[in-house]
Amino acid sequence: MEGKKVEQYYSPPPKLGKWEGFRIFLWNSETGQFLGRTGASWAKILLFYVLFYAVLCGFFAAMLAVFYQTLDPKQPKWQLNSSLIGTNPGLGFRPMPPESNVESTLIWYKASDEGNFLHWTKELDAFLEEYQKGGTSANGAEQRVHCDYDKPAPPGKVCDVDMTDWGHCTKEHKYGYNKSAPCIFLKLNKIFGWKPNYYNDTKNLPEGMPTDLQDHIKKEENAQRHRLNTVWVSCAGENPADVENMGAIQYIPRRGFPGYYFPFTNTPGYLSPLVAVFFERPKHGVLINIECKAWAHNIIHDRFERRGSVHFELMVD
């Protein structure tokens, strides 16, 4: 019965042309609807969304505030062995190959061609910018003091890295790149609060340590005992041929990262210590595989995880 009644009142919508239908959808003068809604309906829906987003923003801000309560801007929340980066620092080298080739670890240049090695010297200029004297207060340069093994930095200060007497490995000498005797800089990655556990006992050096490094450590012991508190560095060709092609190297200013630069605690102006590896006479025109390692009891070498050691190739044409 009811169904029939409804049918009686039902009339199909008037047939309209496409354009006419759209015009009525835009503004229906009969019902006062604009885009299918009346003014009051639009106002309600607008009010709803304003309130909805206001509450959403408020909720987000409140949660963010709660989250920030748990953080300290000066130090990481998870440190050392409770953090994901852990306690085993990686070793890095500079200059880095061009960005277009992120996977590459090849340093390849023509010493005779100025434009060719410019990439590498520019890259080093940029990397060493903050190490230059006369930095601005913005990067905390005035916090840097001269340190020595028996003279660590006072609280709130950091140790300077003085590159003035680094011989060929300075900007003035183009880091040796125009003489086909390049310098490659090594840097230990910063880990907040990490303290090295030095190989400072010559009777307790690991078997895998290269003998030239062992000899060096023994020599240092005879010279000045406290200099043993150093994270030692060794670089070597990976295969016998590489060893031969690499030739002699020098570590500038010394063969390791002095202990007074550790731990890194995010003090403004902190500079990572650097070791410049100066290749005196690498053989021309061959690819030389080189591996450098940092040595401390608490640095474990893992080539695949890139911890404690670094691999790169050098090719001088």
User: Is residue 83 within the footprint of ligand NAG (CB under 6 A)?
Assistant: no
Q: In angstroms, what is the minimal distance from the CB of 104 to ligand NAG?
A: 26
CB-wise, 177 or 269, nearer to ligand NAG? 177
User: Is residue 197 within the footprint of ligand NAG (CB under 6 A)?
Assistant: yes
Angle at 90 between CA 284 and CA 161, to 5 degrees: 80
Kindly report the three-state secondary structure assignment for every residue of 168-182. CCCCCCHHHHHHCCC
Whether a cis peptide bond, with omega within 30° of 0, leads into 253 is: yes
Encoded tokens for 272: 């990572």
Q: 300: how many CB neighbours lie within 10 A of its CB?
A: 13
292, burial (CB in 10 Å: exposed 0-12, middle 13-18, buried 19+): buried
127, burial (CB in 10 Å: exposed 0-12, middle 13-18, buried 19+): middle
Give how far Cα 32 sits from Cα of 41, 96, 223, 240, Å: 11, 68, 97, 90
141 residue type, one letter: A
Q: In angstroms, what is the minimal distance from the CB of 176 to ligand NAG?
A: 8
CB-wise, 141 or 188, nearer to ligand NAG? 188
Q: In angstroms, what is the minimal distance from the CB of 191 to ligand NAG?
A: 13
H or E stretch including 244? helix 240-246
Q: In angstroms, what is the minimal distance from the CB of 45 to ligand NAG?
A: 55
Q: Which of 240, 236, 259, 238 lies closest to 249, judged by CA?
A: 236
CB-wise, 20 or 201, nearer to ligand NAG? 201
Q: In angstroms, what is the minimal distance from the CB of 281 to ligand NAG?
A: 14
List Cβ<8 Å contacts ≥24 apart for 26-34. none
Interface of this chain with ligand NAG, residues 116 to 145, rule: CB under 6 A: none
CB-wise, 144 or 255, nearer to ligand NAG? 255
Cα distance between residue 112 and residue 49, in whole Å:
68
Interface of this chain with ligand NAG, residues 46 to 65, rule: CB under 6 A: none
CB 169 within 8 A of CB 176: yes
User: Is residue 254 within the footprint of ligand NAG (CB under 6 A)?
Assistant: no
11, 69, 81, 211: residue in contact with ligand NAG (rule CB under 6 A) = 81
CB-wise, 2 or 165, nearer to ligand NAG? 165
User: Is residue 79 within the footprint of ligand NAG (CB under 6 A)?
Assistant: no
Length of the chain: 317
121, 200, 230, 245: residue in contact with ligand NAG (rule CB under 6 A) = 200
User: Is residue 110 within the footprint of ligand NAG (CB under 6 A)?
Assistant: no
79, 214, 229, 272: residue in contact with ligand NAG (rule CB under 6 A) = 229
Residues in binding contact with ligand NAG, number by CB under 6 A = 10
CB-wise, 88 or 309, nearer to ligand NAG? 88
179, 190, 301, 311: residue in contact with ligand NAG (rule CB under 6 A) = 179
User: Is residue 234 within the footprint of ligand NAG (CB under 6 A)?
Assistant: no
Q: By CB under 6 A, which span of 28-36, 194-202, 239-247, 285-293 interacts with ligand NAG?
A: 194-202
Site string for ligand NAG, 155-174 (x = CB under 6 A): ------------------xx
Cα distance between residue 74 and residue 294, in whole Å:
27
Residues that bind ligand NAG (CB under 6 A): 81, 173-174, 178-179, 197-198, 200, 226, 229
